[in-house]
């Protein structure tokens, strides 16, 4: 049995309250993982092209206030 299958079986045994607690924890876990990945990508320069394009649009007057 794989780890994923074990997790699925364990989740199926949770009470609704336990599942709600798990859902809150997992949402925070995923958010932190996203933040770490975004920081890693930014540090590696993977977002530089997007930032430069946005700045060029701003300086060229191709933007509007939010």
Beta carbons of 14 and 22 less than 8 angstroms apart: yes
The pLDDT assigned to 12 comes to 98
Specify if 64 maps to a domain: no
The count of domains in the chain is 1
Domain span at residue 41?
A: 15-59
pTM of the model: 0.71
The whole-number average pLDDT for the span 23-47 is 98
Please check whether residue 45 lies inside any domain of the structure.
yes
1 found inside a domain: no
**Of 11, 37, 12, nearest in space to 25 by CA:** 11
Residue 4 forms part of a structural domain: no
Considering the domain boundaries, does residue 6 fall inside one? no
Model confidence band, residue 26 (pLDDT cutoffs 50, 70, 90): very high
Q: Cα separation of 34 and 28, whole Å?
A: 10
CA distance from start to end of the chain: 51
């Amino acid at each position: 049995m794989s780890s994923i299958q074990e997790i699925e079986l364990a989740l199926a045994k949770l009470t609704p309250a336990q599942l709600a607690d798990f859902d809150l924890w997992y949402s925070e876990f995923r958010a932190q993982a996203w933040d770490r990945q975004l920081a890693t990508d930014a540090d590696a320069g993977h977002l530089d092209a997007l930032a430069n394009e946005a700045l060029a649009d701003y300086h060229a007057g191709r933007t509007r206030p939010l």
